[in-house]
Amino acid sequence: MRESVQAEVLMSFIVSEELSFRIPVELGYETRDPFAVRMTFHLPGDAPVTWTFGRELLVDGINGATGDGDVRIEPSEAEELSDVHIRLRVGVDQALFRASAPPLVAFLDRTDKLVPLGQECSLGDFDEGLDEVLGRILADENAG
């Protein structure tokens, strides 16, 4: 059984109303973390930055505004399959990206074929996997 889905899309990094530039963004999904998608942003002159957030957040954000924390996703227009704005925030700093919806939908369709939405828990003991991941994160934080 296939265990991951990857794709690369070009997104606009919106610096201001007058300035934006296209950057490659890697999308990733793995069955070992069935609720999450990863986006790795390749900004010029910086090391790649990876954000992990709920797959359902991305699904919902294509059709309507969603997210109330560090990740907000919403269509840029009310029309069907318009561009999507992805706003990422750390403290007071934030970054805004615009992506075309069809490549995101195609990626999500591939993840759904791997693990249908709503059936993530059927992959095994998710709580045990979560405990293992949280344990590694805490160990890394205490070591650094």
Residue 56 belongs to domain with CATH number: 2.30.31.20
Q: How far is CA 109 from the centre of its chain?
A: 14
Asked if residue 79 has pLDDT above 90, the reply is no
Please report the pLDDT score of residue 143 as a whole number: 67
Confidence of residue 71 (pLDDT cuts 50, 70, 90): very high
- Can you point out the beta strands (E) in 1-144? 4-14, 20-30, 36-41, 49-54, 71-75, 84-90, 93-99
Average pLDDT of the chain, as a whole number: 87
**Residue in the structure block whose two tokens are 């919806």:** 101
Range of the domain at 27: 4-143
**Residue in the structure block whose two tokens are 């890394």:** 140
Tell me the percentage of the chain whose pLDDT exceeds 70.
84
Quote the CA–CA distance of 96 and 74 in Å, as a whole number.
11
- Choose between 138 and 27: higher pLDDT: 27
Burial of 40 (0-12, 13-18, 19+ CB in 10 A): middle
What is the mean pLDDT of the segment spanning 94-122?
90
Residue 85's nearest CA partner among 68, 100, 105, 70 is: 100
Asked if residue 106 has pLDDT above 70, the reply is yes
Quote the CA–CA distance of 54 and 38 in Å, as a whole number.
9
Please report the pLDDT score of residue 123 as a whole number: 61
Please report the pLDDT score of residue 81 as a whole number: 72
Question: How many domains, in total, are found in the chain?
Answer: 1
**pTM confidence score:** 0.80
